[in-house]
Amino acid sequence: MQRKWHVATVVLVVLIPRLLCAAGMVDAVGAGLRSLDLKKGDPALCVLSNAVYVDHAALDMLEDRTGCSLGKGNLLFYHCPSGRPLKAALFRRDTRVACLLTQAGEGMIERVQLAIGPEQTSNPETWKEIGAKLGADTAMVGILNAWADGAPNDLLKCVEFHNHFCPGVTSGYLMAKYIQAHWPLTGRQAYLYIAAPVWCKEDAIQQLLDLTAGKHGIVTKPLAKDQLKDLPYTQPAGILIVREERNGPGTAHVLCFDWELANRGIKDMGGMKKNPLSWNDAPEKYISSPLSLGLTAEEIARLELVENPYQFLVSMEKKEQKK
């Protein structure tokens, strides 16, 4: 049965090349639904678009024509600079076939239709074909498969901001869950998060904890491998400071993320190759906090400015022990 489906999807990839249709997006959405053999409101349907960033007026049309909505969790967006062409991918959960529509000019819509499920992404040949057909839009593959696999809505919001789905953003999702479970804010408390070294996780942490750079909630510090090697921590990922109030004193917690504990044998997680993490994993499986240290407001200000914040904490800890 699976084999039959695979053959059918390969044929589909071959038979439906990149088409340029002289029709508006409204007609193209209707034709796309018919090509997926879906009707408006079908629970197998999902729409992924950049409309919210490039063509706000198209949102109502997409909702109206497909029946997908934010509330139902099947109208998804991805972050995109303004000025880019409008894109909308219609996606069918059971067949994992996507129909990508791109505004290619006044009344012209480019259409690409292909199967993008785990069967295709785990096969180097079909994965190559997907990359050739989707080009810069290949990032949609991971997002749509994550939706099909039941990714929670708050993770999909992180993925929207990050604009692709990857193990890095999943690691940030798990770190944010760990922070919320271990150090929930009370009263006037506020978080300050120092990302060091920096990877995709920071976008999930910013999104879930409202720690934006502009509001001074996150400080990013790229660190080279040799800056990490003499530390008493294994795979440090960041430092969370729980402040008693904004700009006040607080407690710094070192957070480590142990990638060695990830299951690298799973091939079809979120439709991605080699994604070793699942949003369903317990954050404690990977994350630990080997140090918690009380700091004054002045010490926190210095911690933000030093080149290597872990070395700073090690020296502060030694000072503390000498007292």
If one asks whether residue 31 binds Zn ion (CB under 5 A), the answer comes out as no
Question: In whole angstroms, how close is the CB of 86 to Zn ion at the nearest point?
Answer: 24
3-state SS class at 302: helix
Residue 174 CA: distances (Å) to CA of 193, 197, 219, 231, 235: 15, 17, 19, 23, 15
Q: Which is nearer to Zn ion, 36 or 166 (CB)?
A: 166
Question: In whole angstroms, how close is the CB of 127 to Zn ion at the nearest point?
Answer: 18
As given in the structure block, the two tokens for residue 217 are: 């909630």
Contact region with Zn ion (CB under 5 A), list: 76-84, 134-142, 178-186, 197-205: 197-205
If one asks whether residue 166 binds Zn ion (CB under 5 A), the answer comes out as yes
Sign of CA dihedral 94, 95, 96, 102: negative
Contact region with Zn ion (CB under 5 A), list: 101-109, 194-202, 247-255, 296-304: 194-202
Contact region with Zn ion (CB under 5 A), list: 9-17, 108-116, 193-201, 251-259: 193-201
Residue 152 CA: distances (Å) to CA of 9, 98, 148, 278: 27, 20, 11, 11
Q: Which of residues 240-279 bind Zn ion (CB under 5 A)?
A: none
Residue 68 CA: distances (Å) to CA of 44, 73, 193, 242: 10, 8, 36, 39
If one asks whether residue 88 binds Zn ion (CB under 5 A), the answer comes out as no
Distance CA 236, CA 191 (A): 18
Question: In whole angstroms, how close is the CB of 141 to Zn ion at the nearest point?
Answer: 13
Question: In whole angstroms, how close is the CB of 169 to Zn ion at the nearest point?
Answer: 5
Question: In whole angstroms, how close is the CB of 114 to Zn ion at the nearest point?
Answer: 23
Question: In whole angstroms, how close is the CB of 245 to Zn ion at the nearest point?
Answer: 33
Question: In whole angstroms, how close is the CB of 145 to Zn ion at the nearest point?
Answer: 15
Distance CA 99, CA 302 (A): 52
Q: Total residues contacting Zn ion (rule CB under 5 A)? A: 3
Give Cβ neighbours of residue 296 (< 8 Å, ≥ 6 apart): 249
Question: In whole angstroms, how close is the CB of 93 to Zn ion at the nearest point?
Answer: 23
| CB burial readout 4-16, b (16+ within 10 A) else e | eebeebbeebeeb
If one asks whether residue 172 binds Zn ion (CB under 5 A), the answer comes out as no
Q: Which is nearer to Zn ion, 58 or 196 (CB)?
A: 196
Q: Which is nearer to Zn ion, 130 or 293 (CB)?
A: 130
As given in the structure block, the two tokens for residue 281 are: 């994993």
Residue number with the shortest CB distance to Zn ion?
200
DSSP codes of every residue in 182-239 = HS---TT-EEEEEESS--THHHHHHHHHT--TTTT-EEE----GGGTTTSSSSSEEEE
Give Cβ neighbours of residue 188 (< 8 Å, ≥ 6 apart): 244, 245, 246
Of the residues 16, 23, 26, 200, which one makes contact with Zn ion according to CB under 5 A: 200
Residues paired with residue 294 on neighbouring β-strands, in sequence order = 251
Q: Which is nearer to Zn ion, 155 or 166 (CB)?
A: 166
Q: Which is nearer to Zn ion, 152 or 232 (CB)?
A: 152
If one asks whether residue 223 binds Zn ion (CB under 5 A), the answer comes out as no
Q: Which is nearer to Zn ion, 168 or 283 (CB)?
A: 168
If one asks whether residue 58 binds Zn ion (CB under 5 A), the answer comes out as no
Distance CA 272, CA 121 (A): 6
Question: In whole angstroms, how close is the CB of 166 to Zn ion at the nearest point?
Answer: 3
> What is the number of other CB atoms lying within 10 angstroms of the CB of residue 280?
11
If one asks whether residue 168 binds Zn ion (CB under 5 A), the answer comes out as yes
If one asks whether residue 205 binds Zn ion (CB under 5 A), the answer comes out as no
Residues near Zn ion, by CB under 5 A: 166, 168, 200
